[in-house]
Structure 1
Amino acid sequence: MKTTITLIAAVLLLMMAGCKEQPPADARYPFKSAIIKKITGGETENTIYIDDYGAKETIETILADPMTTSIHALRIRLPGGEFAILVNLLNKTANLISSDEMYTYYGITFKDAEDLENYKEIGEEEVAGKPCKVYLNMTPDIVGDENTVKIWNNIVMEDFTISGEQTFGSCITSIELNVPIPPEKFEIPKGIKIKESPNE
């Protein structure tokens, strides 16, 4: 009897393992969903919402610095990935932008072995609870600058450059994977005027 129960349990475990959802071939991310918080420029807070392996993605950006213009914006990627909607939540307007504008500074950056050809691995460090490899850029854009990146699963968790007495870059401060994301995070809020062009 014990043998039969053990066999049934083993078969069920194998079936469950076989039913584990696999990312689609065109998946943008290796995880189904995520909420990621990222600081850029030392003051700009970005919250990245991802669902369906990246088929849905929104970046919420907040800059609340009294010394400069405040920002509260959403960048909502449209199906196909070529374009996004930029929503200005302060003046209640929205306009079309390229997805390059969405990802270049605010979103997640990936680097694989090819991207790291000019980098040297110099150690390991934990960032936002993830074990990262630390790389030093051996060919920085400006001679004398020191650029380091910290990478976990090809995701750039930190990217900082020291130039003279200045330090600038970005850092992921938290990353929650495979969590439920409210559908409204990928929708344009009510009361937003869609502009035909950025100058309208």
Structure 2
Amino acid sequence: MSDERVFVSHAPGDGELVGRLFRSIRNLPFDVHVAGEEVERGRDRGSLRGRIDESSVTVAVLTPAGASNQWVNQEIGYAVARGVDIVPATSSADLLGGYLAGSDTVTLDGESMDRSVFELLSALRSLLAPVGGLDTPKWYLPFHCTVEGCSAAVTLDVDRDQPGLWRLHDHGRTIHVDCGECGARYHFDPGTLAFLRRETPRAE
């Protein structure tokens, strides 16, 4: 597990959107702390400042509800004060203001969430240190083989750049890795790093 951490600031009603945005990203080897999961609904979020202090990046989900939410705005201000990088994710640049005016954004598009996830991954890859070791400066996705009788550790290396990954996505290609123990092949979407399917070798 990497020491990198990401804090996600959002309005209470945007939990489902946040879940869709981070579903595959949470499989990467760093911690993602989502505000709505850290405190009970309606409770004071002031206690989450420690999470922001520990984070390398704060992702601010700025839907119309998020942009007007007092806690989201306080968390953005606190992240700025603490020198934490902020990635705004919004459906409209008109929702950016204050500290975030003119910032580069991740475009939220409910009709094309794959593109939104890709843009968020691109932003995180540009801001976070490589989650591999210094001798392997790349990203990776670790998991365990799910074939019955095999639970070997498997690692998908993400060593292409973001434009290259999106080109593969656009052409309907996958990135894949084989289990070193049983030979099962796991396919992932190159744009979002979401798991797609498993191919299990036929018994000889």
Q: Shorter-normalised TM-score: what interval?
A: under 0.3
TM-score, length of structure 1 as denominator length: 0.21
TM-score when scaled to structure 2?
0.21
Q: Which has the higher contact order (CA 8 A, sep 6+)?
A: 1
Bigger radius of gyration, 1 or 2? 1
Greater share of helix residues, 1 or 2? 2
